[in-house]
Amino acid sequence: MSEDEKLLKEAKKLPWEDRLAHKNWKVRNDANIDLAAVCDAITDPKDPRLREFGEDLFVSRDRSSPFFRKAVADSNAPVQEKALDALIAFLKAADADAGRYAKEVCDAIVAKCLTGRPKTVEKAQMAFMLWVELEAVEAFLDAMEKAIKNKVAKAVVPAIDVMFQALSEFGSKIIPPKRILKMLPELFDHQDQNVRASSKGLTLELCCWIGKDPVKSILFEKM
């Protein structure tokens, strides 16, 4: 058995939070893989393990960042991606009660995942959609308002795209159009053409749900 294999074997005996915060990236990576597998196997949203994971991994008890918030912000790109896998698996297994954990994790995803590798960005968007499904719409839109202010344009486009997805899939009764309307002037003012192009698609989707007049009035007011 190699040294790495020994290390991973010993680490499996540790509590989840110790594994997920381990100084060795291979241990953190392995922990996220195992956590995702456990959550994937859970079929009952009232399974006590989900509450345990919620309390242990989303809630800060010593004034440091909660573990899931730190995990999705991991400086090691492969570990970060596996952390998103674990988060997605948890959210798929959980019920709306998990929505109360959304805010800090959504903010961390906005801060650290939207400029990542394409797969990382895709998984970040999937996590946002699951938060919306779990009724954490306000936390999602609060995070989007922060995302569109990112100085890196390539982080803004995925935020616009996931708002489009959310509005398209869940509709205006779930996604408050006013919140998105307020963002449009800033998006159309953006210097990057890709941001402006994505904003047009989002605007057209808004028009499908609420008509053209409210959108026109917001944009004309800005002009």
* pLDDT tens figures, 79-88: 999 999 999 9
Q: What letters, b where the CB count within 10 A reaches 16 and e where it falls short, cover 7-20? A: bbeebeeeebeebb
Given a cut of 60, is residue 145 above it in pLDDT?
Answer: yes
Query: Which is more confidently placed, 172 or 1?
Result: 172
pTM to 2 decimals?
0.92
On average, the pLDDT of the chain sits at 91
Distance CA 54, CA 66 (A): 10
> What is the reported pLDDT for 222?
62
Above pLDDT 90, what percent of the chain? 70
Does residue 149 carry a pLDDT above 70?
yes
CA angle in degrees (0–180, nearest 5) for 18-59-101: 125
Quick one: pLDDT band at residue 52, thresholds 50, 70, 90?
confident
Interatomic CA distance for residues 192 and 156, integer angstroms: 10
Tell me what pLDDT residue 1 has: 73
Mean of the pLDDT values across residues 11-24?
89
Give the tens place of pLDDT for each residue, 115-139: 999 999 999 999 999 999 999 999 9
Report the candidate in 152, 150, 204, 154 with the shortest Cα–Cα distance to residue 180.
204
For residues 198 and 202, give the distance between their C-alpha atoms in angstroms, rounded to a whole number: 7
Residue 60 pLDDT more than 90?
A: no
Most confident of 63-67, 68-72, 77-81: 77-81
pLDDT of amino acid 138: 96
What share of the chain in percent tops pLDDT 70? 95
pLDDT number for residue 150: 92
User: How would residue 63 be classed by pLDDT, with cut points 50, 70 and 90?
Assistant: very low
Predicted pLDDT at 37: 96
pLDDT over 60 at 208, yes or no: yes
Conformational region of residue 63, where left means phi above 0, alpha means psi within -120 to 50, and beta covers everything else:
left
Task: Evaluate whether 6 touches 17 at the Cβ level (below 8 Å).
Answer: no
